[in-house]
Structure 1
């Protein structure tokens, strides 16, 4: 009797162990197949003059704009100038916060209309707790047009160059730099000036002749 009970208990224990192993193996693929949480996309947030709400750009929906804004600050060196322009010469300020994985990583202050050319200020206190040396840098000459292109309310600038630090190319229309057209325009203006001078001489001569004739009649 005791042996039968032991055999029965052993059989029950073996069955329970087999069922537990089966459940564990069945749950393992499901756990492995569970997708990892997707990290938020990289991007930039822009705040500043005439922006009622932060301008939020994300790499998954507007990659070109995000890269264009980051290109304005990614080249900054280790050290910049300790003193920048006076407050009255800086113009409107726009703060750019670079996000990595949805979290703020870097912050910069951009002054696209500063007197003497665009400027960038990098504060020493950064969101990622890095401690770069605070400093002022000359910005790229296309800063204003880049910010305007991503939605910042700035007036269009016609006399800027694309690129800036490290080179660039003119964005002035080629026809404005055509020497043949400039010479033709200059000749037309010269011709008009000569005709105007001739007209003035004729009028003065006629006036003098009239005065001389009047004096001659009175002296008779």
Structure 2
């Protein structure tokens, strides 16, 4: 028993020495390499640092308008001077940059009315350019030329139905157009507003006209029903006579 215990202790001690030696041999080369690098003055490689975030894209800050009745130097509306008017004008043309053409090119006989060239400015340079026809027959129209003022930028040439508020937005910016106070802001593809006659807003007259139309409809339905019943009676009489 004593001999077995002694042998177990010896085996355990030998195993411990073997593990310690293996660990020492495994760490010694790495330590030596680190020490050599320190002596030679080399710096260990580090992970590349993240790139700084890109600068924000410049946004439009002005509108320039030229066309019929406008001074030769044009009309310039800056966001810093009149933010409300600038928002109105940018709403008229801002959506044209990415929209798909929704109208066919007008023919030679189309009555488009006066044309106004609207440029969207970034700083002092024009970035976008559109042709607006606020008084076109059938409603305002807008044209996006294929060649844009931004360097190297081209778009698909396209025609669009303009917003109903186009005429009023241009007028408020200084374009000599007639006021359209009844125009509803927003919407695409409408027409310009029209002055309504007071008689068209009379609720009593409108109700009388509605009842008159309903009476005509009932009389028409009664006449149709009478014709159908007469036909059925005639068919029944002929069948009974044959029987």
TM-score by length of 1: 0.56
In the alignment, what sits opposite 1:94?
A: 116
Counterpart for residue 60 of structure 1:
80
Cα offset for 1:137?
0.3
Q: 1:176 to 1:151 in 2, by over 3 A?
A: farther
Scaled by the length of structure 2, what TM-score is found? 0.51
Match of 1:46 among 41, 46, 65: 65
Checking the alignment, whether the CA contact within 8 Å between 2:140 and 2:189 is kept in structure 1 is no
Provide the rounded CA distance (Å) in 2 between the counterparts of 1:177 and 1:74: 36
Does residue 127 of structure 2 align to residue 105 of structure 1? yes
Compute the RMSD of aligned alpha carbons: 3.3
CA contact (8 A) 1:78 1:132 kept: no
Say which of 105, 125, 136 aligns to 2:147. Answer: 125
- In 1, the alpha carbon distance for the partners of 2:186 and 2:92 equals 9
Gaps of 5+ in 1: 1-38, 187-220
When Rg is computed on C-alpha atoms for both structures, the one with the higher figure is: 2
SS of 1:163's equivalent in the other structure is coil
Residues 44 and 87 from structure 1, CA distance in 2 versus in 1: closer, same or farther, beyond 3 angstroms? farther
Moved over 6 A (4+): 170-173
Unmatched tracts of structure 2, length 5 or more: 1-57, 210-243
Q: Are the equivalent residues in 1 in contact too, given 2:120–2:126 (CA < 8 A)?
A: yes
3-state SS of the aligned residue for 1:162? Answer: coil
